[in-house]
Every structure is written in structure tokens, then in C-alpha cells.
Amino acid sequence: MAESEADVAVIGGGPAGLHAALVLARGGLSVVLLDESDTLGGQYYKRRTDQLTAAFGDFRPRGTELIHRVRAAGVVVRTGTLVWGAEDAGRTLFTSDVRTGALGRITTRATLAATGAYERSLPFPGWTLPGVVTPGFALHLATMDRVPVGQRVVLAGTGPFLLPVACALLEVGARIEALVELNHPYRPSTSAIGGALRQPARLAEAARYLLTLARHGVGVEQGARVLAAHGDTQVTAVDIGQEDGGVRQLETDALCVGFGFRPSTELPRLLGCDTRADPTGTEQLPVVDADGATSVDGLYVAGDCAGIAGVHAAGVRGQLAAHAILRRLAPERAPVRLSGLRRRARALDRFAELADRLYPLPTTADIPDATQVCRCEGVSAGEIREAAATGWNDLHGTKAATRAGMGPCQGRECGHIVAALTGRNESWAECFAARMPIRPLPMAATVEGQDVP
């Protein structure tokens, strides 16, 4: 097993991890930056491959520039490396090389988890059909690969993310058959507008997207939702439930449905840090101070895995966490004035709270019993409800009784729904326990000395 040491390990090469690594390295600490992907950038600063950049240009030049600065500052960058376990308050990290499966162990003096988020999916009849995808998948195909997810596309769910996805689809020549938003965010109340006006850049961004959509004749249908997807070997039609109770059916090649994002908190939870329910009441977030310090001494979290707040907040939170780690490990260095960063962090957090109010989640109570919830193990909502109703099954008992959450994705897609369907206590979000390995790795990799094909 390959052993290495660093003052600080930063897990996740997205906006939070990149900004943090830069501050830490410039502060004179040895930093290793780990990411499972083969390039840095995370989901937001994701970059086209060299061949496609040469032809189509750089999709996120600001991310490319940030990555150059991180490398120039002397950060040890290890892409294609997944962290599948940790112990000793995160000072020992277990890694695996994505390509070879080779195991590694990294010893640190402090660790920053900047592991980002997943898209939140909510199950409905037909959501497992090929051609039903997350909006993020459609965005990736359009921006990275220049491929439309379909010639005719239906977009649905809730959240501001649907807008840039729709625009990216138009740019690669797809037709938007419908853009269906569950809530009514685009005629907000006066109080909501007051909050948004304090973030004029974000407001302008949303306005640009809406303008582009309008120019292409795409309207946002508010207060409507996807009820079901139909098809034989792939999706061919979608039922949309309208606000007046009517249902209309649309033919489509692809359906993108998403309900915002969920923090990826396995690593801090594995290390036993204190948690609290997130604003949606469906996730457990690490409890952190203003600098991202958790209850586990030496473990910090930043970016969306500390609570969904977007790219700009991730960058600011990454810097604040890095400064806190510097104060801890190199206190002899002159203190840096952080009041500007802190003010910006608070303003961005308030904006995220506004988004939570504008885009509330639907109830899980009306998911039909026949709907598959756990995609991997094919477990339906009815089976989960039945297991939970036996009187002794809590979330973990339900998992054992039904196998929900036990498949290859390890509950990453369905965990929050299984928790909601089994939940007894609405004030506390339960979730599946984080266990090693927290990322899938080849079985052979866990056997010391064994070759992985």
C-alpha cells in the first residue's frame, strides 16, 4: 500500500476544494488535493477534454485559471483517486486509484471535506425508463460532449438549475417540449424580491436565462409536475399534471427531472461529526461553525456538502475553512483580515435560504405504492411503507427487510426517499449510516497484495 503524508488533505477538486487548496498552499502548508474524476473542477468547473476544448473552446475559463493557480502554488494534485474511508478524525485517509484499484493511505494534520452534492431525484412511475435522466446529465452532455439528450426534451422538477440546463439544450439544437416548474418562483412575493435584490448578479443571471428561453419561445409552466413517464424500451411520452388538475400527455425523446441538490456528507458522518437537519428536513448536515469546523477536532467541511448554497458560496467557504486551518497549523503567520469574506459568506447564505423558500419540495406522501423507489434493488414505495408499518422497523430495519438502499449506488439515489417514507419524527431527518467503503471500489482492491484487473 502506498503511504504518503501532507499537512492538509482536501477532498474534492470543485470550487470549494480549489479555493481552499490555493489558500493553504500559499500559506506555506503541504497540501494534497484528491478527486475521483480524472480532471479537477468538480461539477461546476467541469472542463471539456483537450480535444473538445481545441474545437469548441474552454467552457469554464475561470475554473481553468483557478486550477492553474492551484497547481502553480505547489498543491499535490491527485485526480483519479477516490477516498473510500477514513479514521482518526480524518487524519488517516484510505484511497483507491480509480484506474488500477491500487490502495493508498494518507496521513494528515487536518482534513477538509469538500465533497459537493448530488442531484435530488424524486421517484414517479416510469422514472427508471431509459431516457429519463437528471438535468445535470443533460447539461453535461450538452456542454462537455456537445450532444443533445434528445431532439425533443421535457424538463421538469423544481429549482433555478432547470433554467441553464434548458438554455444549454437549446444551444445544441434540442427542442424544449415543455419546461415544467413545480413552484411559482418567477412571480415571487415582494419580500422575496427584496432578498434577491441584494444579490443583483444572481438575479441578472436568472433574468438572462429567462430571456434566452423567451427568445426561443419556451415558457416556464409553473405549478405543474410530471406524473408519469411511458415507454417500452425507452421513454416516449410523459404525463404532466397541471395546476387546474388537468393532465396532458406529451411525446418526447428524453425527460430530465430534478429537485435541486443534496449534500454529499458521507465522509464527515463516517467520522462521527454532529449533524442537524437541513432546511428541507430530508438530509443531515454536519454542524459547523462560521469557518466550517465540525465537532470532530481537525475535520472541516466546505462547499455544498456543508449545505447547498452554490458555486460562489462554495469558493468563499473554502477560503474561510482554509484560513481556519492555517490559524490552527501555522499560527505564527500574521493574521489575515477576514471580515469581507465573512460578510460575503453570510449574504450568500441568505440568498440560499431565499432559494429554499422559492423552491420548496413536494411531499413524498403521494408517491404511488407501485412506484419503484430503490432503482438498484427494485423496491417499491408500497414495500417500504409496509416494512415501516410493521411496528418495529425504523429506517435501518426497513433497509434490512426490503434491501432498499443496498444496491450498487448504496442509497445515494433513494436514501432520502426511503427515509421520508419510513420517517416517524418530522423534526429529525434520518439517513442511512455512512460506512466504509463510502465509495464503490473493486472487491479485489480490498484484499492486500491482490491484483485488480
**Selected binder of another protein within 41, 90, 93, 119 (CB under 8 A):** 119
CA 10 vs. chain centroid, Å, equals: 17
**Selected binder of another protein within 146, 202, 357, 385 (CB under 8 A):** 146
> Which one of 137-145, 201-209, 271-279, 324-332 is the stretch in contact with another protein (CB under 8 A)?
137-145
Asked if 266 is part of the footprint of another protein (rule: CB under 8 A), the reply reads: no
Asked if 234 is part of the footprint of another protein (rule: CB under 8 A), the reply reads: yes
Please state, as a whole number, how many other Cβ atoms lie within 10 Å of the Cβ of residue 211: 11
Asked if 413 is part of the footprint of another protein (rule: CB under 8 A), the reply reads: yes
Asked if 48 is part of the footprint of another protein (rule: CB under 8 A), the reply reads: yes
- For the beta sheet containing 247-251, the strands, ordered from the edge strand earlier in sequence to the opposite edge, are 225-231, 235-241, 247-251
Helix (H) or strand (E) holding 255: strand 254-259
Contacts with another protein by CB under 8 A: the residue count is 46
Q: Which is nearer to another protein, 41 or 292 (CB)?
A: 41
Q: Which is nearer to another protein, 188 or 407 (CB)?
A: 407
Asked if 23 is part of the footprint of another protein (rule: CB under 8 A), the reply reads: no
Contact of 264 with 115, CB cutoff 8 Å: yes
Q: Given CA atoms 374, 377, 380, 385 in this order, what sign does their dihedral have?
A: negative
Asked if 304 is part of the footprint of another protein (rule: CB under 8 A), the reply reads: no
How far is it, in rounded angstroms, from Cα 420 to Cα 425? Answer: 10
Asked if 237 is part of the footprint of another protein (rule: CB under 8 A), the reply reads: no
| Tally of residues, the chain | 453
Helix (H) or strand (E) holding 434: none
How far is it, in rounded angstroms, from Cα 303 to Cα 41? Answer: 13
> Which one of 68-76, 104-112, 153-161, 369-377 is the stretch in contact with another protein (CB under 8 A)?
369-377
The candidate with the shortest Cα–Cα distance to 357, out of 124, 160, 207, 213, is 160
Residue 271 DSSP code: T
Asked if 371 is part of the footprint of another protein (rule: CB under 8 A), the reply reads: no
Asked if 45 is part of the footprint of another protein (rule: CB under 8 A), the reply reads: no
Paired residues of 309 in beta bridges: none
Identity of the amino acid at 234: Q
Q: What share of residues in the chain are helix, strand, coil (percent, to 5)?
A: 35, 25, 45
How far is it, in rounded angstroms, from Cα 13 to Cα 135? Answer: 22
Cell numbers found for residue 442: 473493486
> Which one of 158-166, 266-274, 324-332, 407-415 is the stretch in contact with another protein (CB under 8 A)?
407-415
Residue 222, classed as helix, strand or coil, is strand
> Which one of 212-220, 287-295, 386-394, 402-410 is the stretch in contact with another protein (CB under 8 A)?
402-410
Asked if 375 is part of the footprint of another protein (rule: CB under 8 A), the reply reads: yes
What is the nearest approach in angstroms of another protein to the Cβ of residue 453? 7
What is the nearest approach in angstroms of another protein to the Cβ of residue 114? 16
Helix (H) or strand (E) holding 262: strand 261-263
How far is it, in rounded angstroms, from Cα 113 to Cα 300? Answer: 6
Asked if 451 is part of the footprint of another protein (rule: CB under 8 A), the reply reads: no
Q: Which is nearer to another protein, 408 or 449 (CB)?
A: 408
What is the nearest approach in angstroms of another protein to the Cβ of residue 378? 4
Identity of the amino acid at 338: L
Q: Which is nearer to another protein, 146 or 202 (CB)?
A: 146
Asked if 11 is part of the footprint of another protein (rule: CB under 8 A), the reply reads: no
Contact of 142 with 166, CB cutoff 8 Å: no
> Which one of 214-222, 350-358, 370-378, 429-437 is the stretch in contact with another protein (CB under 8 A)?
370-378
Q: Which is nearer to another protein, 101 or 188 (CB)?
A: 101
Asked if 144 is part of the footprint of another protein (rule: CB under 8 A), the reply reads: yes
Asked if 249 is part of the footprint of another protein (rule: CB under 8 A), the reply reads: no
Asked if 289 is part of the footprint of another protein (rule: CB under 8 A), the reply reads: no
Would you tell me which residues interact with another protein (CB under 8 A)?
36-38, 43, 48-52, 54-58, 118-119, 128-134, 136-138, 140-141, 144-147, 149, 233-234, 375-378, 407-409, 412-413, 440, 453
